[in-house]
Amino acid sequence: PADMGDDLERVLLSEEQLGARLDEIAAQIDADYAGRDLLLVGVLKGAVMVMADLSRRLHSSVEMDWMAVSSYGAGTTSSGVVRILKDLDADLTGRDVLIVEDIIDSGLTLSWLLANLRSRGPASVEIATMLRKPEAAKVEVDVRYVGFDIPTDFVVGYGLDYAEKYRNLPFVGTLAPHVYGD
């Protein structure tokens, strides 16, 4: 296959920058949840990288569960329609839950997910996201841990896809215009 690097315009956040920020967030989570049993809920598929890298930086043992929801399909803009493709295995009753996401764009996915998980009787539900696009917000979502606020450019890598590709880039970058196909 062709080198993914040929499809990129520029690197927005390097692997080193992402890792350094995750060190800080993991230390905050360790402090905030000291002495409690934490359940990390990763949102497939985009959150796979941040879930793996964040969880490995925590000093206490956590449980991990996964939910698959989709609002984007193959396009580059949010439809606002959220579907559950795979539900959690865990019972959330009385649990301290931390949702782990790659990016908050319009906020529609997470605001829906927050309401859904809060209806299941957890002790607490908070959010950790690697990226957030403040200028793209259609709904405000109260987020406890944010890696980086970024501009509204379409970004890929570190779990984020364009038509299911580029998720395996170890950094976050913007796509070159020729990739959008014209």
Contacts with ligand PRP, residue ranges (CB under 6 A): 43-46, 70-72, 78, 101-109, 161
Distance CA 18, CA 111 (A): 24
Stretch that binds Mn ion, among 2-10, 46-54, 80-88, 117-125 (CB under 5 A): 46-54
159 binds Mn ion (CB under 5 A): no
161 binds Mg ion (CB under 5 A): yes
**Exposure of 144 by Cβ count < 10 A (0-12 exposed, 13-18 middle, 19+ buried)?**
middle
- Taking phi over 0 as left and psi of -120 to 50 as alpha, with beta for the rest, 138 belongs to alpha
In whole angstroms, how close is the CB of 171 to ligand PRP at the nearest point? 16
Query: Is the Cβ of residue 53 or residue 101 nearer to ligand PRP in the bound state?
Result: 101
CA distances from 167 to 60, 85, 103, 162 (A): 28, 19, 13, 8
Query: Is the Cβ of residue 53 or residue 105 nearer to Mg ion in the bound state?
Result: 105
46 binds Mn ion (CB under 5 A): yes
Q: Mask: binding to Mg ion, 16-55, rule CB under 5 A, as x and -?
A: ----------------------------------------
Q: Nearest CA to 127 among 138, 139, 116, 111?
A: 111
Query: Are the C-beta atoms of residues 63 and 91 closer than 8 Å to each other?
Result: no
Which residues contribute to the site for Mn ion (CB under 5 A)? 46
